[in-house]
Structure 1
């Protein structure tokens, strides 16, 4: 059953939106998106993974159509809400896939709730230690643009991302802008949460099997793969050649194949 089904779960923060594909009694795969995207980042991936698993892509609390409940944004909070969603769906244990911010949330989910995470796929995931935090503090906002009366801020938002997206794929930039507009003035919240997360205090708790996916043309995340592997010696690195910042919706077949091949190796 590869039809995408969308629904809301009533959680501590209010209503949290998710999309699911595949048989509900199959082994669950939870997909976590980058900032400021939504479940739609995995729209083309869901049926491919759902052909073999119960694939679930959630909107992180405060993104897409999910409420944040007025709770301050943090990686720890987003991981707690993700675990609440697993509870609500009756999923005792999931394989967790995260891209960019979603990978950081996946690390915290595995560290905080180890019994709920069978394995990790960390796609284009940064390693957020003190040097990362210092460097991030010295850089300008990633997606923030000043609002304008004539709508030129929409073009500015597009242009901020354009160099990190494949040429000739305006559809991917449109999807990004749609999601960014949904979160409005909170467009930087995800990036700030990542920049303040102390991964060095948490990653040592992770004993689950792990795969590190490196999008070779992603300048933000590709350099972190070796560092992540140093802290996760059980992890392999798989390169997706030509992959850029929007990897899951840029190359859904390669992304889904990489995830499923890894999952097929697990006991």
Structure 2
């Protein structure tokens, strides 16, 4: 029987948080955390592929997808704040211990949760979810760090370009061996949400806050060393935002990490759903047994 996926909204800290949920609530929990510029929409096919065995929850971060998008003056739009809302949602749902799948922005949100309560994280699946400077491809990140250090018209222009339809599409097809496997619905959907009035300022605010994630890396590495949390990296090797060196770097602190480099890009689920699903199922069956 094909698992049923529910589309729900909870109130966390006075904000509407949309999430997708499937599977038996008594089963081991797996929390899927999306990245920029998408939403839990990126997990629409993965959720039913895991829900026969796991309780799967995939929220939209504040300012993304179907979750609330308060104005800048009403919400801080920092990664600390996004992590706080995620933690509040999990508390609301009664989720104690959980495995997490992280991609892009989902990674620094999960790292904050892990640093707060490391005993809750049963396993990590990272799909182009970075934790090492080795994974930062300079051509993009130098521009973001310049903007964060000195916001102004000159440094802001390249960051505004990152919100354009051309760059949104590029994130999906760049590095993918067979781009015909990637549905254009993805970037059309994401761009429509990016183009909402005021969302550009939200994304720019998060760009300016991104260096706090890199500042957190030493603490995250210590968490890895102390916990030896089981980790699976399924990584689009052609990603020009978070390069494959970011995947292999996990072995610096987690020597038993399982790492697979795929002929794909930033959104590897779109071209390698079947392979990634099988890696995840095999990995979780072993480490959560």
State the TM-score bracket (shorter-chain normalisation): 0.7 to 0.9
Please point out which of 158, 162, 177 is paired with 2:169: 158
Given the alignment of the two structures, is residue 205 of structure 1 paired with residue 223 of structure 2, yes or no? yes
Runs of 5+ in structure 1 lacking a partner? 148-152
Q: For 1:90 and 1:213, how far apart are their aligned partners in 2?
A: 28
Match of 2:236 in 1: 215
Aligned residue pair count: 260
Tell me which moved more, 121-130 or 83-92.
121-130
- What's the CA shift string for 1:222-263, capped at 9, x where partnerless? 221122321333422223x32221112332222221112111
Given the alignment of the two structures, is residue 74 of structure 1 paired with residue 96 of structure 2, yes or no? no
Larger proportion of helix:
2
Runs of 5+ in structure 2 lacking a partner? 145-154
The TM-score, its normalising length taken from structure 1, stands at 0.84
- What's the CA shift string for 1:192-232, capped at 9, x where partnerless? 44443123232112412222222222233222112232133
Match of 2:160 in 1: 144
Q: For 1:133 and 1:112, how far apart are their aligned partners in 2?
A: 28
SS in 1 for 2:161: coil
SS in 2 for 1:2: coil
**Could you say what the CA RMSD is over the residues aligned between the two structures, in angstroms?**
3.0
Match of 2:19 in 1: 18
Q: For 1:201 and 1:52, how far apart are their aligned partners in 2?
A: 34
Match of 2:257 in 1: 235
Match of 1:167 in 2: 179
Please point out which of 115, 118, 126 is paired with 2:130: 126
- What's the CA shift string for 1:91-136, capped at 9, x where partnerless? 1111111012212322222112223221111111223559959872
Please point out which of 167, 171, 177 is paired with 2:188: 177
The TM-score, its normalising length taken from structure 2, stands at 0.78
Whether the 8 Å contact between 1:35 and 1:190 is mirrored in structure 2 is no
Tell me which moved more, 189-198 or 177-186.
189-198
- What's the CA shift string for 1:6-52, capped at 9, x where partnerless? 00011015010000111122111000111010001000000001121
Tell me which moved more, 155-164 or 115-124.
155-164
Q: For 2:80 and 2:257, how far apart are their aligned partners in 1?
A: 23
Match of 2:102 in 1: 98
